[in-house]
Structure 1
Amino acid sequence: MTKPESGLRLLVTLSLVGVVFTIGVILVGVWTRLVDAGLGCPDWPGCYGRLVVPDAERALVHSPDMPLESFKAWVEMIHRYVASTLGLLVIALVLLGFRLRRRAGYPWGLSLALLVVILLQGAFGAFTVTLKLWPQVVTLHLLGGLSVMLLFLWLHLRLRRFASGDLTLGGVPAPRRPLTPLWGLAMVLLLLQLALGGWVSSNYAGIACQGFPTCNGQWWPDTDWSEGFHLTQTVGPNYLHGQLHADARTAIHLGHRLGGVALGLGLLLLAWRHWHERRLRPWLGALVGGYAVQLGLGIANVLLWLPLWLALLHTAGAVALVVLMALAVWAWREPVGQDERQQPAEKEWAHA
């Protein structure tokens, strides 16, 4: 194996490591929130002015109004350590890929996009602390983590294709199928549901609706939609445990349920429309199956009053849906073989 091939193999491996590591960082971040450790350290990037959690006496000198809770401080710092390691991994990918940036087909632009997003994600991590868990920032921080994971995954797939040399069909660039409106709708619904899930978590509305399928014993309980989705909340109060009243939180929770219904219908329609394509069928089946599991986890969280382990599983389910959607999109956009292009039904669906 030549040196360039060896370096390329390393890039492929590191990008896959990045996918797995990012999932771990996301789950550690969610665990940090679930144990109320988001403000375990009142400053950033250190903790009470230090790179490791200090003792209670030094912490008191630094922040007299924020007594040290050692467990929460360590949880927060562990999250920062693993997130920083992820940033170093992105930098390594960019540096290792620099000499390949001019080769046709190498995803250099995607590597740079990943670097920009990971830097923005670090900034949102700082704002999460300095703005005292402002729900807008917390939700964007979650979406940013999912974006980093998605970029790692897409980079891995692009690097694998580049390493295999499978960039052309018959000596000409292989055409990629464009996304149809139905694929776009499914992705938008998934993004919306992820944002709603983050909004539920950041406003502590996970058990605002008790019971299922009804909410607080009613099919349509008292809600305050304007306050629940008021995106210009005041910056400054400590948002630990939330600031919204019960009706506003109920509206948020109910919105997440309705978003789940819309997502489910969108995925079912997508699967029905493209089920005839054999290479898509496994991914579409996995998407619908993953959604069903995620729905069950959401219901269980409500009925069991949001236990920590089940809330983490629900987040893991959301991550899995993002991965499955990305892989399904990748499979859809892959060039269609000659035998497939000759099938009339395939032509009809591809242009839908």
Structure 2
Amino acid sequence: MNESLKVIRWVSLSGAVFCIVVILVGVATRLMDAGLGCPDWPGCYGRLVVPDHATAAEYSSQPLEPVKAWMEMIHRYLASALGLWVLVINALAWRQRSAFPAVMRWSLALLGMVLLQGAFGAWTVTLQLWPQVVTAHLLGGLTCLSLFFAVWLSSRQRSGEQNNESGSLRFAVAALMGVLILQLALGGWTSSNYAGTGCVGFPKCNGEWWPAMDVSEGFHLTQTIGPHYLYGQLHAEARTAIHFAHRLNAVLLGVLLLVAYWLAHRRASAAQQPLGWMMSVYLVQVALGAILVTQGMPLVVALLHTAGAVALLLLGWWSLLLTPQLAVASSRVSGRVSYE
């Protein structure tokens, strides 16, 4: 095997793991209300490291909170390191662009997404935690993770091979992925609007099966910017609408997961295994969600909930990859994708 391709595989896979770390540190920064720990970007009070109180006071009227400032800067340092990781992948992919053009395409897409993430990081601060930007920043991180996976996958797939279509199963898994992406977006919107406590109690919300909600305000995507969105600006019923939508979509996600798993089992598909793992992670996610709304949003549980969302995303892409590969009992499968 080409040595450069081996390196691309290792770098893309390890980059995906590092990307997960960056995502979780970013979520921790958000949960610790440290998103504005530094009032400027890319430095902190005009410095590349967190300064002392006297230096910070000379730069800005915003009081320095060292723990929050360091949390924000650590996230930036890690994100910058991830950017360098992506540059390495692109340099290696350029050397393989003729033999493996898909690797080059995905690597370029990853580079573009990382650059956009840098812009989102700046806008998060300059637009004072505007929920639209904060949510997009989270989804951008998950997109980067997905692209790392795509680079790794394309470096393993042999040239000239194609997938078979598998009808209803592939459609079911594709629909599952669409609803999962929507669920991730709703989770980000819930977090960025501080709507995690919009519903108290489980399975009921605020003691009701259908609570009072203000949907139009909760999903008003053209809201004005400022002065800042630390701790949120929406009233209680708007936050309830956001949280409740997240719960309803979770139910839909569970139904589609059951359908996809049943179809995979019926067709003896290779996708049955990752879909089975998805069901296990989904149940854990429901339990973690229940703990969050009944125990006052503990930080560790919130991070585990985010890690579960990342696991669902990766298992979902894996399931989508495997849906064309049906394990037919006769073993006479034509056009099956194979990997080195």
Q: What TM-score do the two structures reach when normalised by structure 2?
A: 0.93
User: CA–CA distance in 2 between the matches of 1:110 and 1:147?
Assistant: 12
* Equivalent position of 1:16 in the other structure: 13
* Equivalent position of 2:76 in the other structure: 80
Q: Is the 8 A contact 1:290 1:317 kept in 2?
A: yes
Distance 1:109-1:234 versus aligned 2 partners, 3 A rule: same
User: CA–CA distance in 2 between the matches of 1:155 and 1:265?
Assistant: 31
Give CA deviations for 1:119-177 in whole Å, capped at 9, x if unaligned: 1111101111110100000001000000000110121111122xxxx335xxxx44443
Q: Is structure 2 residue 327 aligned with structure 1 residue 327?
A: no
Q: Is structure 2 residue 182 aligned with structure 1 residue 185?
A: no
Q: Secondary structure of the residue that 2:41 maps to in structure 1?
A: coil
* Equivalent position of 1:167 in the other structure: 159
Distance 1:186-1:50 versus aligned 2 partners, 3 A rule: same
Q: Is the 8 A contact 1:177 1:335 kept in 2?
A: no
Q: Secondary structure of the residue that 2:211 maps to in structure 1?
A: coil
Shift of 1:278: 4.3
- Structure 2: segments with no counterpart, 5+ residues: 335-340
User: CA–CA distance in 1 between the matches of 2:116 and 2:323?
Assistant: 30
Q: Is the 8 A contact 2:86 2:110 kept in 1?
A: yes
* Equivalent position of 1:301 in the other structure: 292
Shift of 1:183: 2.4
Q: 2:189 aligns with which of 194, 199, 209?
A: 199
* Equivalent position of 2:23 in the other structure: 26
* Equivalent position of 1:218 in the other structure: 208
Q: 2:134 aligns with which of 135, 138, 141?
A: 138
Identity of aligned residues (%): 53
Give CA deviations for 1:276-301 in whole Å, capped at 9, x if unaligned: 32422211111111111111111111
User: CA–CA distance in 2 between the matches of 1:248 and 1:54?
Assistant: 39
* Equivalent position of 1:252 in the other structure: 242
- Which stretch shows the higher mean deviation, 99-108 or 20-29? 99-108
User: CA–CA distance in 1 between the matches of 2:163 and 2:258?
Assistant: 27
Q: Secondary structure of the residue that 1:144 maps to in structure 2?
A: helix
Q: 2:219 aligns with which of 217, 226, 229?
A: 229
Q: Is structure 2 residue 301 aligned with structure 1 residue 310?
A: yes
Output the amino acid matched with 2:14: V
Q: 1:290 aligns with which of 262, 281, 289?
A: 281
Give CA deviations for 1:168-212 in whole Å, capped at 9, x if unaligned: 5xxxx4444377432221111001110110011000011111111
Q: Is the 8 A contact 1:210 1:216 kept in 2?
A: yes
Q: 2:37 aligns with which of 26, 37, 40?
A: 40
* Equivalent position of 1:208 in the other structure: 198
Q: Is the 8 A contact 1:275 1:284 kept in 2?
A: no
Distance 1:36-1:342 versus aligned 2 partners, 3 A rule: closer
* Equivalent position of 2:85 in the other structure: 89
- Which stretch shows the higher mean deviation, 70-79 or 209-218? 209-218
- Structure 1: segments with no counterpart, 5+ residues: 344-352
- Which stretch shows the higher mean deviation, 176-185 or 201-210? 176-185
User: CA–CA distance in 1 between the matches of 2:52 and 2:104?
Assistant: 45
Give CA deviations for 1:6-58 in whole Å, capped at 9, x if unaligned: 22211110001111000000000000011110000000001011111111111
User: CA–CA distance in 2 between the matches of 1:58 and 1:69?
Assistant: 13
Shift of 1:105: 5.3
Q: Is the 8 A contact 1:175 1:335 kept in 2?
A: no
* Equivalent position of 2:110 in the other structure: 114
User: CA–CA distance in 2 between the matches of 1:233 and 1:341?
Assistant: 57
User: CA–CA distance in 2 between the matches of 1:53 and 1:133?
Assistant: 20
Q: What TM-score do the two structures reach when normalised by structure 1?
A: 0.90
* Equivalent position of 2:94 in the other structure: 98
Q: Is structure 2 residue 251 aligned with structure 1 residue 261?
A: yes
Output the amino acid matched with 2:256: G
Output the amino acid matched with 2:159: L
* Equivalent position of 2:337 in the other structure: none
* Equivalent position of 1:56 in the other structure: 53
* Equivalent position of 1:346 in the other structure: none
Q: Is the 8 A contact 2:110 2:147 kept in 1?
A: yes
Q: 1:149 aligns with which of 145, 149, 160?
A: 145
Distance 1:333-1:112 versus aligned 2 partners, 3 A rule: farther
